[in-house]
């Protein structure tokens, strides 16, 4: 109460009738601001400056003013008695101790402030030949005031002549306690509609790969990786996810899914025990996955980069591929889709408990028929060495067996004779040419009488 009495007394001195000087005038103002509403409370700071706009430049010793705002939209952050933050030269008076007196009052629709730089040391003065910031006032929007706005909201903060008891005058003190005329200027605060949040975009993709199967039997197997990545805009962060569901379709005429395994990122969850809920289903034409990392929501993960979430094991449909020419190939796709399974599994990622659709990117699997033979590997052990020459000599002269005459035809002349072990030894020990195609599995490019019953190393 004593502080308020002092303030009122000081303001009364500022307003002594006939004490205004006619030569010097001042303006008090703050800058317009544009802020993003953000869909919630918005806090901001208004810096109030003073500038002398007429008359000879005078030393000033204090000032007072009041401003009003829309009480349905804004409030001044602070309590009574109100002491706003000081800045600039006002903060520097009294050896950076600030003014000897600064006090005001916060109202529901505005504030008042009065300042005296020094009670005793009359050398503590400020001149306003240019605009100088003096105080900072913190404002905040009222809770809910900006909810649901569909267009920008503009409000004015204006000088007030009737706040306080008695009303606080808008004056600047010069000379020996003379009140110079001051004018408070209104300013505006614009709250822009919050820009729409960028769409959340996840892509689930199957990997492109090459897989092999036996040209003779059609049997083959491979594992495909299913990955997820979020397209994150520059300056944004990836969303924390809580789970997902999807289906992966395949051509049932060529492939059968045999297992759907958690990826490393899922396996590491919950202390290495994996996702709390993980259910995979295998259908004739695809497989489905439903996953919740943690029922309590405490485990989340982001997909800033492409990350494997599951791997799927496949077998070829042997009957469809048996008898394919060695080296031949055909392509098939693995496609993330919705609707698989008895209840039609969705293609979604879970963010903040909400389902976010995922984009699909198919993977191309090229099935390559293995078979044929490796020329030079006469004993079919997967290697080319002196044992192959010995095997061929044993076959030629001692009646030993070989599985594949074509593999023993080292010089590819469609004859199996003594020239072939000579060719082998020459290439192995004296730098002769290697058997054509050695080191690869392929059918015989040269038609002839020799054949190949079976060659296990190329199955």
Condensed to tens digits (0 to 9), the pLDDT of residues 151-195 reads 999 999 999 999 999 999 999 999 878 999 999 999 999 999 887
Could you tell me if 301 and 348 lie in one domain?
yes
Report whether 292 contacts 241 (CB < 8 A): no
Could you tell me if 364 and 401 lie in one domain?
no
Domain count, the chain: 3
Tell me the C-alpha to C-alpha distance, in Å, between residue 224 and each of 261, 314, 316, 317, 349.
10, 8, 13, 16, 20
Give the least confident one: 106-120, 188-202, 361-375: 188-202
Could you tell me if 120 and 220 lie in one domain?
no
Condensed to tens digits (0 to 9), the pLDDT of residues 124-155 reads 999 999 999 999 999 999 999 998 888 999 99
253 CA to centre of own chain: 40
How far is the C-alpha of 47 from the C-alpha of 63, rounded, in Å?
15
Last residue within a domain, chosen from 170, 192, 214: 192
pLDDT confidence of 447, banded at 50, 70, 90? Answer: confident
% of the chain exceeding 70 in pLDDT: 95
Nearest-CA neighbor of 254 among 207, 219, 281, 300?
Answer: 219
Could you tell me if 164 and 49 lie in one domain?
yes
Last residue within a domain, chosen from 192, 225, 242: 192
pLDDT confidence of 3, banded at 50, 70, 90? Answer: very low
Last residue within a domain, chosen from 192, 215, 239: 192
Report whether 52 contacts 84 (CB < 8 A): no
SS3 per residue for 135-174: EEEEEEECCCCCCCCCCCEEEEEEECCCCCCCCCCCEEEE
Q: Which two tokens stand for residue 449?
A: 């009488």
Residue 197's contacts (CB-CB under 8 Å, 6 or more residues apart) are none
Kindly state whether residue 400 falls inside one of the protein's structural domains.
yes
Could you tell me if 187 and 232 lie in one domain?
no
Could you tell me if 60 and 184 lie in one domain?
yes
CATH number for the domain that contains residue 30:
2.60.40.680
Compute φ and ψ for 389, nearest 5 degrees. -65, -40
Domain limits at 225? 202-370
E strand segments, 274-347: 277-283, 286-292, 307-316, 329-337
How far is the C-alpha of 269 from the C-alpha of 244, rounded, in Å?
15
Asked if residue 7 has pLDDT above 60, the reply is no
Asked if residue 39 has pLDDT above 70, the reply is no
Nearest-CA neighbor of 53 among 23, 30, 31, 32?
Answer: 23
Threshold 0.75, pTM exceeds: no
Kindly state whether residue 381 falls inside one of the protein's structural domains.
no
Kindly state whether residue 377 falls inside one of the protein's structural domains.
no
Kindly state whether residue 123 falls inside one of the protein's structural domains.
yes
% of the chain exceeding 90 in pLDDT: 80
Average pLDDT value over all residues in the chain: 92
Could you tell me if 295 and 325 lie in one domain?
yes
Could you tell me if 13 and 157 lie in one domain?
yes
Could you tell me if 208 and 179 lie in one domain?
no
pLDDT at 236: 87
Nearest-CA neighbor of 119 among 178, 62, 58?
Answer: 62
The 3-state DSSP composition of the chain as helix, strand, coil percent (nearest 5) reads: 15, 40, 45
Helix (H, G, I), strand (E, B) or coil at 267: helix
């Amino acid at each position: 109460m004593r502080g308020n009495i002092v303030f009122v007394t000081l303001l009364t001195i500022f307003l002594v009738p006939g004490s205004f000087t006619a030569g010097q005038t001042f303006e008090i103002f703050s800058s317009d601001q544009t802020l993003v509403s953000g869909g919630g409370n918005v806090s901001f700071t208004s810096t109030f400056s003073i500038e002398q706009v007429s008359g000879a430049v005078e030393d000033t010793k204090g000032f007072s003013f009041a401003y009003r705002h829309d009480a349905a939209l804004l409030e001044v952050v602070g309590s009574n008695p109100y002491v706003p933050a000081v800045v600039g030269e006002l903060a520097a008076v009294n050896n950076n101790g600030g003014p000897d007196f600064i006090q005001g009052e916060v109202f529901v629709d505005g504030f008042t402030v009065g300042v005296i730089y020094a009670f005793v040391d009359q050398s503590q003065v400020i001149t306003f030949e240019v605009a100088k910031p003096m105080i900072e006032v913190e404002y905040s929007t009222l809770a809910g005031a900006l909810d649901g706005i569909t267009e920008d909201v503009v409000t004015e903060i204006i000088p007030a002549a009737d706040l306080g008891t008695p009303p606080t005058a808008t004056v600047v003190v010069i000379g020996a306690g003379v009140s110079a005329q001051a004018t408070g200027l209104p300013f505006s605060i614009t709250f822009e509609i919050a820009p729409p949040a960028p769409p959340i975009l996840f892509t689930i993709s199957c990997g492109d790969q090459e897989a092999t199967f036996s040209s003779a039997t059609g049997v083959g197997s491979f594992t495909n990786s299913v990955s997820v990545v979020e397209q994150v805009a520059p300056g944004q962060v990836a969303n924390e996810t809580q789970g997902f569901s999807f289906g992966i379709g395949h051509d049932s005429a060529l492939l059968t899914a045999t297992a759907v395994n958690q990826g490393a990122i899922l396996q590491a969850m919950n202390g290495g025990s994996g996702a709390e809920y993980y259910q995979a289903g295998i259908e004739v034409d695809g497989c489905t996955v439903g996953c919740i990392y943690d029922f309590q929501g405490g485990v989340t993960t982001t997909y800033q980069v492409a990350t494997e979430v599951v791997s799927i094991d496949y077998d070829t449909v042997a009957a469809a591929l048996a008898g394919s020419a060695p080296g031949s190939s055909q392509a098939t796709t693995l496609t993330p889709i919705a609707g698989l399974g008895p209840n039609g599994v969705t293609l979604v990622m879970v963010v903040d408990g909400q389902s976010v659709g995922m984009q699909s990117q198919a993977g191309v699997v090229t099935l390559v028929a293995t078979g044929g033979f490796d020329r030079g590997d006469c004993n079919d052990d997967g290697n080319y060495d002196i044992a192959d020459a010995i095997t061929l000599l044993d076959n030629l002269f001692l009646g030993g067996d070989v599985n594949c005459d074509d593999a023993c035809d080292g010089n590819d002349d469609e004859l199996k004779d003594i020239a072939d072990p000579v060719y082998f030894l020459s290439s192995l020990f004296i730098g002769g040419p290697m058997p054509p195609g050695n080191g690869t599995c392929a059918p015989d490019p040269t038609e002839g009488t020799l054949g190949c019953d079976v060659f296990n190393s190329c199955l």
